[in-house]
Amino acid sequence: MILDSHSIVFGSQAGIRGTDGKKVRCIKRHVPTCSRGLVLAAAVTAANVHDTQAAGWLLDGAVEAGRMPVLVKADGI
């Protein structure tokens, strides 16, 4: 499983937002994929949620969906 996240700047309709490392108020999407690039799950959080915290939720979701990751690669951890 490969896990990456992206900060996204939205308007007021985005709901709860946080501040990422660049001090930009935004939200963050976390997307784990398999080695072929297929999306296994997705989560949208406030930008101040660390990738390691979201990784736990996404790993749990992948296991519940019947996917058993053998190796996890992530940046920024």
Domain ranges of the chain: 2-74
pLDDT of the residue at 40: 85
Please state whether the predicted TM-score (pTM) of the whole model is above 0.75: no
pLDDT in tens, 9-61: 766 555 555 655 556 678 888 888 888 888 888 899 888 888 888 888 888 88
Distance CA 5, CA 45 (A): 10
pLDDT score recorded for residue 13: 55
- Got the DSSP string for 10-71? --GGG-S-EE-TT--EEEEEEEEE-TT--B---EEEETTS-HHHHHHHHHHHHHHTT---S-
Side chain identity at residue 46, one-letter code: A
The answer to whether residues 63 and 40 touch, using CB atoms and an 8 Å cutoff, is: no
CA atoms of 19 and 12, how far apart (whole Å)? 14
pLDDT in tens, 57-73: 888 888 888 887 888 77
